[in-house]
A and B are shown apart, each in its own frame.
Chain A
Amino acid sequence: MQRPNIDKGFFENLVPVQIPFEEGVLEKLKAGDLISLTGSLFTGRDQTHRRLVALLDEGRELPIDVKGQLLYYVGPSPAKPGQVIGAAGPTTSYRMDAYTPRLLELGLKGTLGKGSRSMSVRKAMKNYGAVYLATVGGAGAFLSKSIVKSELVAFEDAGPEALFRFEVVNFPAVVINDLAGNDFYEMVAAERLGVKYEKTI
C-alpha cells in the first residue's frame, strides 16, 4: 500500500510489518531494523498507564485486551475539522517504565515511543517476548499522515492522555530492543567508541 500524502524524505527500504503482530514476526525483527507498520494499535501515555495499572490493582477489567498488541506512547494534538488527527509523534518512553512490565505480563507484545528503556523493562520484554520500537521524535505533523483512522476508546476526561485506537499505514519505526535482548542505542554507542557490541542483558 502506498503512503498517503507524503512529500518526500521517508525512510527507504523499510520492512513492512502488520500490527497487531502476526505469529513468528517478532522473532525476525532485529535491533536497528527499519520497519513500516500497517494495521491497528492502541495509544497511551502517563495518565493512561497510571489508570490502567490502577484498574489492575483493583482487580478490575481493562478497557482493552492488550494481548498481542502494540502500544504507542503519544498524546496527540486535537484534530481540526476534516482531519483524522492533529500532530501525533512519540513521547519519551522512560516515563512509562514503571508501568510497562505489568502490561507485558498481560501479553502486550510491543511498545513504540522514543528514548531508551530501563533495565527492568528490557528484562521484562525479554522474559515475555516483546519488542520496543522508536520513531522520529518531533515529527508529529509528518507522522500524522500515516494515521488513517482514530477512535476514542477510554479515559476521555484525560484529554490528550486518553486511550485511542489508531489505524496506521506505513508508519515508520526503528527496532530498538529485539527479542534477543539487543539494544540499538547501545549498538550505536559501541560503534562510536570503536568497541565490539556486547549485550548488556
Chain B
Amino acid sequence: MRTLQSKEVTAAVRKLAMSAPCDLEPDILDKLLAARDREESPLAKNALEILVTNANIASREQIPVCQDTGIGVVFVSIGQEVKVEGNLEEAVQEGIRLGYADGFLRKSVCDPVNRKNTGTNVPAVIHYEIVPGDTLRIGFLPKGCGSENMSGLVMLPPSAGIPGVEDYVVQKVKDAGSNPCPPVVVGIGLGGTFEKAALLAKKSLMRPLGLPNPDAKVAEIEQRILKRINQEGQGVMGWGGVNTALAVHLETYPTHIASLPVAVNIQCHAHRHKEIEL
C-alpha cells in the first residue's frame, strides 16, 4: 500500500487550479488554429485570430483566458493500492481555495438560494472513482457556466434510436446559439441512468480534444453530429462560418431496456482542462 499525504494533494490541486485558467493545453490551441485556418467567414476568422492572440497573452502574462474561471469540477481517480493520510475531500477543497486566491482567479461560487458568494470559489464539485493501481489521478475542469447553462438531458424512448439522439444534440447546440461562446466542445453521455448520463457527458470533456471514441461505431456517431452542427452555420460567436463546434465527444454505458438517456454538456472554446498523477 502506497501512502500519500493530504498536503501533497492540496499542493497539486492548487497548482492545477492556478495553471488551468491561464495556460490552455496544446489540444485546444491546435483546434483553434485549425479552425482559424479553415474559416471562410472574415468576421469569424478575425474572432478566431483574437482567440489565438488571447491565449498567447493569457499564458505569457498569466491572466485568465476568460474572466469566468469557473466552478471547479474535479475528477479524483484513487488507485486501490494508495492510501491518503488525512481528509482527502478537505485536501482537494483546500487546494481549490488556495489556487483561486493565489492565482487572482474569479470567485464565482454562490449559495443557490440566497445567491451569496462564498468568496473562496469552494466548494468545488468532486467526483471520485476507484481504479486499479497505486497512484492518485486528479483531473481539473474549471467549468464556465455561460456554456454549462446551455446543457441538457433527455430521457428518450428507445424507439427514438440513434437518429433521435443525434437530433436532440444538434438541436441543443442550435438552440444555444451564440450564448455558450462557440466554437464549442460538445460532451455527450448516452445510456446508463439519469445521473450516469450527465456524469459521462462531463467526463467526456476530459478526453484529449478530438480523440475519437475507441469504439468505431460510436466514433462514427461523433463525426456525424460534428458535421451536422457545423453545417448549421451559426459559427464562431454566432457570427457565421463553418466552426460552430470544435469536437464532439460521446461516451456510452449500458442502459435499461426501457431507457435511452442522453445528456449534452456544452463547453466553450476556453476549454480548460488539466490532469496530474501523484
Contacts and interface: CB of A to CB of B under 8 A. Distances in A.
Partners in one complex: yes
Interface of A: 6-12, 34, 46-47, 50, 74-80, 83, 86-89, 91-92, 94, 114-116, 134, 136-142, 144-145, 158-161, 172, 174, 184-185, 188-189, 191-192
Given A141-B64, A188-B239, A94 B54 contact: no
Contact of B53 (A8, A114, A134): A8
Contacts of A74: 67
B116 to A, nearest CB: 9
Q: Please report whether the interface of chain B is mostly helix, strand, loop or mixed according to DSSP.
A: loop
B181 A141 contact: no
Interface stretch (B102-110, B126-134, B163-171): B102-110
Given A140-B58, A160-B67, 4 more contacts: A86-B106, A136-B50, A136-B237, A188-B235
A139 B232 CA distance: 24
Nearest to B178: A115
B119 interface: yes
B54 A188 contact: no
Given A140-B65, A140-B66, A9 B46 contact: yes
Contacts, number: 156
Contacts of A160: 67, 106-108, 117
Given A75-B106, A160-B106, A7 B67 contact: no
B270 interface: yes
Contacts of A94: 179
A76 B50 CA distance: 18
A14 B68 CA distance: 27
A139 to B, nearest CB: 4
B50 A191 contact: no
Contacts of B146: 91-92, 114-115, 137
Contacts of A141: 54-55, 57-58, 61, 63-65
Given A88-B67, A116-B238, A140-B64, A77 B104 contact: yes
Given A10-B50, A88-B67, A140-B65, A191 B240 contact: yes
A71 B179 CA distance: 18
Interface in B22-43: 43
B255 interface: no
B49 A9 contact: yes
Contacts of B235: 188
Contacts of A12: 46
B265 interface: no
A79 B64 CA distance: 11
A136 B47 contact: yes
B152 to A, nearest CB: 16
Contacts of B270: 138
A47 B115 contact: yes
A158 B119 CA distance: 9
Nearest to B177: A116
Nearest to A187: B240
Nearest to A11: B46
Nearest to A91: B146
B237 A137 contact: yes
